[in-house]
Amino acid sequence: MPKPRLTTTEKLLRGTLQPSRIPQPRSFPEIEVAISEAIELIESLSFVLHQAKEAIRRDGIQSVVTARNNKNETTTATKLNPSVKLLLDVPGKIRLARRELVILNDELATAQQKEAASNAPDEFAGLD
């Protein structure tokens, strides 16, 4: 499983911040779209997790599968229910999506601070 990204402030606190690798700031609409996509991803992954749990309750951990072998004979085997793999994988994906949401909210706050600073009234305007 991939490691979650660190925010710029976390990197600064750790002393590992490299100014050349700071991502370029995005506009408000881009950040808001990314936040809404992350929220939708979390909701859909939660739904998939719920469906996987229901499938395991209904069908069990193993399922009976019939297939034909190379002699064209019908064989029956028990295999692991694919929902079990989802049940193991999806919670990690949800954690990563939540982490991405934290990073996006931090980026949005930074963009709002920069916007507020650029829109501040100029104290020396009209003193020419």
Q: What is the pLDDT of residues 42-55, one digit of tens each?
A: 999 999 999 999 99
- Other Cβ atoms less than 10 A from the Cβ of 51: the count is 13
Neighbours of 56 (CB within 10 A): 15
pLDDT for the residue 22 = 74
pLDDT in tens, 52-94: 999 999 989 998 888 888 888 898 989 999 899 999 999 999 9
Given a cut of 70, whether residue 13 has pLDDT beyond it is yes
Amino acid at 23: P
Mean pLDDT, rounded, of the chain: 86
The predicted model gives 106-123 an average pLDDT of: 81
What's the pTM value of the predicted model, to 2 decimals?
Answer: 0.70
Nearest-10 crossing angle of helices 82-118, 28-59: 160
Q: Name the DSSP class of 6.
A: P
3-state secondary structure of 57: helix
User: Of all residues in the chain, what percent carry a pLDDT higher than 90?
Assistant: 42
